[in-house]
Each structure stands twice: as structure tokens, then as C-alpha cells.
Amino acid sequence: MSDDLIEVEVSPVEGQQWFDGEPFPLVHACRTDGAELDAVEEWVRQSRTTLNRQAMDHGAVLFRGLPLSTDQDLDRFIRAFDYPNFPYADSLSNAVRVNRTERVFTANEAPPDVTICLHHEMAQTPVYPSRLFFFCEQPAEQGGATPLCRSDILFERLKEEFPEFVADCETKGLLYTNIMPAENDPTSGMGRSWQSTFRAETRAAAEQRLQNLGYSWEWLPDGCLRSTTPVLQAVMKVEPGRKTFFNQLIAAFHGWKDSRNDPTKAVTFGDGSLLNPATMDTVAKIAEELTFDVPWQKGDVALVDNRVAMHGRRTFTGTRKVLASLVAMDA
Ligand code: FE2
């Protein structure tokens, strides 16, 4: 019954970007006072084909003013989309996370003064989510925005400015090298242990998984594991005539730094050749120009198409609680 549904309106948001006359992100604001979660779920069920298309077209959809305040509310909202779940346990992500529900977990446990650079979720591994949900349970006192960047627009800009670099990305692909600790290291944005990453209790079990995934590896004297991926794509064809800069270059080059990892060694082209640091600086600058910072308000939800838009995290003060949920690729 449409009478029972909530009223939702496309609305502007400060700092919104516009590309080819389309807003980034698209914002849906709920105008119904005292809306019930049941009605929100029904609205999502009836609108999900459209919402899904909008997420892909716009890169991200921001929902404001919905009656969501807990992880359980978020879990119900997400389930209404009927997407396949992407469980953290299955992922090869190197972030340390804590699950709240089967589908919902804390976005990243890294400390507030750590910047998480723009990236496509898990583009440095062979298995990555198709979409992500972010939910603001509690905004930071200061800062803590989630920067979002349209990767298809970035790709077009880079093609103009660095045609050779883009050609190398497309033809050679990328290799990512990462050193994982023997125990979870919550002081790092990439501190997930090799045991947790590969769901392995022993070195032999980890090696089996690495081999199946096509990784090469080396055990270090301190118990850490250095692993290198098979050659992964640096550019994704999302749909005909539309490509994205689908990789972890910006994050790897500017952010993959902790007590174990040196960002200049974290990523090379697929043939082992090195990237030009000056080019990477400019790539990061252009991405920053295209970025929209989600100015989190309590209860906001962002649906991000991971194939189209990159995300990151600004530094913050105070307590910030942003929850996340990942969607597997469509069957
Ligand atoms: Fe992420």
C-alpha cells in the first residue's frame, strides 16, 4: 500500500559534486515525521531496483532522515535490498574489524589520527565486494568524513593527462605486496594477521590458501608473512563505454605505511616495473579534486557501488562510530 510508505525526496547536500549534470552523491531524504522502520523496509523493497541502478549510475546514494539508530536497524534496512552478503571472514581485507551482526561490522578500527586514503574495497585481492553500506551510528566531534570519489570520472581525467600511464595500467595490471603480522595489530589500518586473513591456524594451511589464490609468499624471521598477489586488473570495465580506475594505487602508494610496510614497495606493475611517484602524486591530487566528503549525521546511510566509487576516511577527534556492510558480487 503506497499510503503506508514513507515519503522520500531527492535533496541537495553541501559540497555535492556534479558530473555531466548528475549529482554525486545522489541524496534521498526522508520527509515523513516519525516514520516506522517497517515502512522504510517496504519502501526499500519496492524501490530497490531503482536504488541499485542509481548507486551504479551516481556511484553513491546517501540516505538521510531514516529512523535508523542501531546496528539491528541497519541490518534490517540492508536486508530489504536483498543483496548477497559478503562476510568479513571470507574476505582477504587487511583491516581489523569487529562484527556487530552477521552483516554489520565496525568500519575500521584504525586510530583517529590515521588517514585512510581513497580506495576501492579489496581491489588489491582477487575477491572484492560489489557494493558497500556505511552507517553513521555516532559522528565524530570533529572531522571523520568519509571521502568518496567517482572512479570513472577519475579514469577519464587520467586518460587525458597520463595516456601512457593509463595504457600501462590497462595492459600490465598490478602486483600488491603486503606484510601481515602474526597477531592482529589494531594500531595499524592494515593490521589484520595472516591467520585471520587466510583463515589458517598453521603456516601449512596458509600456504595452501595462498597457492590456491595464486599468491607468492615468504615467511619473515619475526613470524610475519610477506605475500604478493597474482597480477590483478588496474582498470575495470563496468559497463560498455565505462571504465573505472579500479585498484589500490592511491592507498598503497600514500597510505600503506605501518611498522612493517613501506608504501614505495607495496605495488608495482604486473611485469614488476615501478610506478612513477610523481605521477602517483598527481593521480592522488586529481582524485582529491573529484572527492565529496560525506558530512556524517547520526542515522545517515551511504550505499556505495564499489566498482564505481572509491572511499576512504578522514582523521577525526572524539568518538566516531561508522558501521559497514559488504555486498558480494551478483550471482
Ligand atoms: Fe575500505
Give domain status of residue 141, yes or no: no
Q: Is residue 267 part of a domain?
A: yes
Q: pLDDT per residue over 253-296, tens digit each?
A: 876 677 787 777 789 999 999 999 999 999 999 999 999 999 99
| pLDDT surpasses 80 at 3 | no
Distance 31 CA to ligand 1 centre (A): 30
Q: What does the CA dihedral 28, 29, 34, 35 come to, rounded to 10 degrees?
A: -10
Instruction: Name residues whose C-beta falls within 8 Å of residue 222's C-beta, 6 or more positions apart in sequence.
Output: 182
The rounded Å distance from CA 108 to ligand 1 centre is 8
DSSP state of 223: S
Q: Look at residue 277 and tell me if it is in a domain.
A: yes
53-111 confidence digits (pLDDT tens): 999 999 999 999 999 999 999 999 999 999 999 977 777 777 777 889 999 998 866 78
Question: Rounded to whole angstroms, what are the CA distances from 89 to 126, 197, 200, 224?
Answer: 15, 8, 11, 20
- 120 CA to centre of ligand 1 in angstroms: 7
Q: How confident is the model at residue 251 (pLDDT cuts 50, 70, 90)?
A: confident
Q: How far is CA 100 from the centre of its chain?
A: 18
With respect to residue 47, please indicate whether it lies within any of the assigned structural domains.
Answer: no
Residue 186 in domain: yes
Amino acid of residue 115: T
Asked whether residue 263 is assigned to any structural domain, the reply reads: yes
Distance CA(40)–CA(30), nearest Å, equals: 9
257 alpha carbon – ligand 1 mean position (Å):
15
Backbone angles phi, psi at 211, to 5 degrees: -65, -45
Rg (CA), the chain: 20
Percentage of residues in the chain having pLDDT higher than 70: 97
At 126-158, the pLDDT tens digits run 999 999 999 999 999 999 999 999 999 999 999
Could you tell me the pTM of the whole model?
Answer: 0.92
In CATH, what number is assigned to the domain containing residue 208?
3.60.130.10
What is the CA(107)–ligand 1 centre distance, in A?
8
State the residue range of the domain holding 163: 152-287
| Number of domains observed in the structure of the chain | 1
**Residue 190 falls within a domain, yes or no?**
yes
Nearest to 189 by CA among 268, 109, 133: 109
Question: For residue 288, how far is its CA from the centre of ligand 1 (angstroms)?
Answer: 16
- Angle of helix 151-161 relative to helix 277-289, nearest 10 degrees, comes to 130
* pLDDT value, residue 1: 43
Q: What pLDDT does 258 receive?
A: 76
Q: Which residues surround ligand 1, an ion (CB under 5 A)?
A: 121
Q: Compute, in angstroms, the gap from residue 230 CA to the centroid of ligand 1.
A: 21
Q: For residue 94, how far is its CA from the centre of ligand 1 (angstroms)? A: 10
Cα-to-centroid distance, 217 and ligand 1 (Å): 24
Residue 244 included in any domain: yes
